[in-house]
Amino acid sequence: MLCARGLKTPDVSLSGLPEVIFGILLAYVGAHEVPGPNVLVIGALVVEN
């Protein structure tokens, strides 16, 4: 959060995207959670846009 003060808005928003993607991946791998087909389809739509 301290670094966000010195960065421009587009840079901060782009840095948040990998956190979402890798957070889901780590939950899948680390906790052995299996996402349902609806989650995968909606996730693909979000990443696509």
- Domain assignments of the chain as residue spans, ordered by start: 10-48
| pLDDT tens, N- to C-terminus, the chain (49 residues) | 566 677 788 877 777 777 777 877 888 788 887 878 888 888 888 877 6
Give the chain's largest Cα–Cα span.
Answer: 40
Instruction: Please give the single-letter amino acid code of residue 29.
Output: V
- Single pTM value for the model: 0.40
Number of other CB atoms surrounding residue 48 within 10 Å: 6
